[in-house]
Structure 1
């Protein structure tokens, strides 16, 4: 049996603003432990107890094209070798994403068991998770479509539920019904009955079984995905399905497209099974969820970063950039970043979506990106700006280079802080070392490269009539932008 981890990482949630932004979603954040949520998911099956002859394949990820370099870099940082990165040309929900993954997983003639995991969940008991995966894999190898049901700890109204049906071996059951998010009274009755589990959106399904059931339940999605996959192109480390074909694909979720259709109440013929999972799971859907799973001090506070707390209780404080001091807070969320600060009552935290809505309506950049912006070659941080000038701190990774480009409206001064820069300026090429500088006149073709083995750090001072990021004319770019 080949176990194929499939990571769905195309989301762009806003409920964790201001840490999560449209161009830097929550799966790329480090919220619990030393790894980002994406990295933790990619490593989650390491050490799984395989039977003799079983194989754990390298992860297969389906993600948003916009995050491709960030995803690849985060995987490289934790030593994930040879992942398959499938880029969705546009978002079409999880059923088309999984269909692309199943087609890619069968690419070399194999028929692996897919372990389908969202990239933005926290699982604290990974030993219990790996044990449940192997239980689910054994059922999937028999042709069943397996989902994991999270053992509920409260009458939660924010989750869908799974009603357990006829018992199978080792605590697994057939699925009697998938249930939408209930009201409070219904959630109380679900919890009291003991027959309902939270729907965590994690699945184990054989690739051929998923494709067959998709063809049965949603032939239109299957046809569109197959056409897009057949027209795919390999771009460096990325597999790109055909854009126009995938854009024509209907949008639907794994649950709605297949699972619920096969498990109508009382009509499950044995195809859809659920494995109960008790692994301290959270989808971290809001700041209040991070408080719930976080390590608390004597006052019930979760403090992350450079934080001082005096006489505060049951409060979450996240300090990204500066010291945050809190006095006498109770049931409050404080999240500090370089360019925005959120202060909210923990019971009202869902309204952060309204804040993001206002930011978008006002066309403010704080809804889109952080002050620190990641690029395939490294990152930059806009540390100061004013009328007709902007100052950036730039870090270029070893061996990386920016595009050969030109600006119509600005000139640039570059000062090297550490490392060595190889600079193309018009027809000349020069090396600029630590404590040296150079000047790029307006309208001059130029390129910045790091030829060394250590990061290149520099300060860029821009001056001109317009300093927007769209004032870039690219002539050559190794990243295909």
Structure 2
């Protein structure tokens, strides 16, 4: 059997200012797509033979996002494993292997990053089928992407000889991200492939090789697994032992050291969408090779990617430029410099709230948008979909004032239950239990004014929740 292991950690800081700590790249529904990259990854596993429900590994802070996005695509089977802190793909895969081994050590782990784009699903599934025999023979199979350009943004795999009885090849070596001239030589050679970060191997094989080549990771993960917290809907890794685990990738910890590395070639329209220039490559363009998304005006512009999310953007007389506008920040960069966007995000991280928190947060009942926040107060706009409701909850540190601006809802405040419509309002004192439900046919929109000495999202005590969320 094949267990899809979807690695959904990471921040995607090269895609600032859209990708944020609390809403990273993999969970964003970019305007080019109908769903998030994470949702695309989950749906991609359908049709793989002998496939088990997926295991999703993510950070604890992203648990609500994962749950909501799985529900919205009707993915009710599977398991969520929460990491207290990120430690890279090698420990994440070790925890998955230890879990799979409990049922069958020969379970094959299909390790998939949650933030990649694959356009040819039939060829993707065929490549997995071709990788299975080598994985069952004890190889750790990676998927080598046929390069389209002499990219310096990816690591490379040099293909070795074919493994008897399979469509896979031994790996001669792994190469770090090269200089441009070296990347060009790889492209001309024809025997080098981009390292996709996707793998297929049995749980036992991975654990054996991890123990041999990265014992500190193996030991820390084994101890962490022994103290794993098991709840009805998810698994949670304790921080005490996991924090002692080295931060390492599967490539560095195992693949570059093992003698059992194999690869299968993959030509599926793959893109890791790791930077804004990648989005330009997969987006439609005008006659001047510009991609414009949102309310954008251009004049005498060539080869540029311009995305307006909240306001109008006008560009004049520029070439090969990336402009990305959001409500709280604007990025302007040459295409040649987009790999350095991560440096900007990291330099802001300790001092700027907008690096961590997006203005708009999706919820199972709809979404809310932060309008303004200052010391002692915050204003939000809530959108509650028909048939949905917030949890019955209360707050220790803040009071709330709700003003209905569209639609109507049934409001609970203390022991009272009332129906309120447009232009009516409700005050909720600190500590009072409250809820709003929208059993009606149109969206309910509310302006929420929070007042208090602490306005964090963790000041919510849920007393009842139809979506099964916990504090």
Assess same fold via TM > 0.5: yes
Distance 1:461 1:181 in 2: 49
What is aligned with 1:354? 343
Alignment of 1:180 with 2:173, yes or no, is no
1:145–1:472 distance in 2 versus 1, CA, 3 Å: closer
1:233–1:390 distance in 2 versus 1, CA, 3 Å: closer
What is aligned with 1:298? 287
Residue range with higher mean Cα deviation, 429-438 or 462-471: 462-471
Residue of structure 1 aligned with 2:427, choices 434, 440, 447: 440
1:437–1:469 distance in 2 versus 1, CA, 3 Å: farther
Residue of structure 2 aligned with 1:281, choices 270, 287, 301: 270
Residue of structure 2 aligned with 1:369, choices 353, 357, 364: 357
Distance 1:386 1:222 in 2: 46
What is aligned with 1:331? 320
What is aligned with 2:63? 68
What is aligned with 1:26? 25
Distance 2:462 2:124 in 1: 49
Residue of structure 1 aligned with 2:193, choices 197, 212, 226: 197
What is aligned with 2:241? 245
Distance 1:377 1:108 in 2: 36
Q: Gapped runs of 5+ residues in structure 1?
A: 263-267
| Secondary structure in structure 1 of the residue aligned to 2:63 | helix
What is aligned with 1:265? none
Q: Does the CA contact (< 8 Å) of 2:89 and 2:250 recur in 1?
A: yes
Residue range with higher mean Cα deviation, 458-467 or 247-256: 458-467
Residues 377-429 of structure 1: per-residue CA shift (max 9 Å, x gap): 6532123467875432113465543463235465523426334233233xx22
Shift of 1:172: 2.8
Shift of 1:7: 0.7
Distance 2:192 2:104 in 1: 38
Residue of structure 2 aligned with 1:468, choices 450, 455, 458: 455
Shift of 1:218: 2.5
Distance 1:281 1:463 in 2: 45
Residue of structure 1 aligned with 2:90, choices 90, 95, 103: 95
Shift of 1:19: 1.0
Distance 2:458 2:253 in 1: 43
Q: Gapped runs of 5+ residues in structure 2?
A: none
Distance 1:76 1:149 in 2: 32
| Secondary structure in structure 2 of the residue aligned to 1:138 | helix
| Secondary structure in structure 2 of the residue aligned to 1:422 | strand
Shift of 1:61: 0.9
Question: How high is the TM-score relative to the length of structure 1?
Answer: 0.88
The CA RMSD measured in Å over matched residues stands at: 2.7
Distance 1:386 1:190 in 2: 53
Aligned residues: 465
Question: How high is the TM-score relative to the length of structure 2?
Answer: 0.89
Distance 1:231 1:453 in 2: 46
| Secondary structure in structure 1 of the residue aligned to 2:278 | helix
Distance 2:341 2:154 in 1: 19
Q: How does 1:191-230 map to 2 (within 5 A)?
A: 191-230=187-226
| Secondary structure in structure 2 of the residue aligned to 1:380 | strand
Q: Does the CA contact (< 8 Å) of 2:82 and 2:235 recur in 1?
A: yes
Residue of structure 2 aligned with 1:257, choices 232, 253, 256: 253
What is aligned with 1:136? 131
Distance 1:258 1:471 in 2: 38
Residue range with higher mean Cα deviation, 95-104 or 371-380: 371-380
Residues 150-181 of structure 1: per-residue CA shift (max 9 Å, x gap): 11222222221112222236653101111222
Distance 2:432 2:245 in 1: 41
Shift of 1:110: 6.5
Shift of 1:463: 6.1
Residue range with higher mean Cα deviation, 94-103 or 325-334: 325-334
Q: Does the CA contact (< 8 Å) of 2:381 and 2:447 recur in 1?
A: yes
Q: How does 1:46-195 map to 2 (within 5 A)?
A: 46-48=46-48, 50=49, 55-109=50-104, 111-168=106-163, 172-195=168-191
Alignment of 1:381 with 2:376, yes or no, is no
Q: Does the CA contact (< 8 Å) of 1:432 and 1:438 recur in 2?
A: no
Residue of structure 2 aligned with 1:412, choices 401, 411, 414: 401
Shift of 1:275: 0.8
What is aligned with 2:45? 45
Residue of structure 2 aligned with 1:316, choices 305, 320, 334: 305
Distance 1:256 1:366 in 2: 33
Residues 269-313 of structure 1: per-residue CA shift (max 9 Å, x gap): xx2111111112111111011112222222111222343444422
Residues 199-238 of structure 1: per-residue CA shift (max 9 Å, x gap): 1111111122112222222233223222222322233421
Distance 1:471 1:130 in 2: 41
1:140–1:419 distance in 2 versus 1, CA, 3 Å: farther
Q: Does the CA contact (< 8 Å) of 2:135 and 2:200 recur in 1?
A: yes
Distance 1:327 1:293 in 2: 24
What is aligned with 2:9? 10
Q: Does the CA contact (< 8 Å) of 1:416 and 1:433 recur in 2?
A: no
1:86–1:407 distance in 2 versus 1, CA, 3 Å: closer
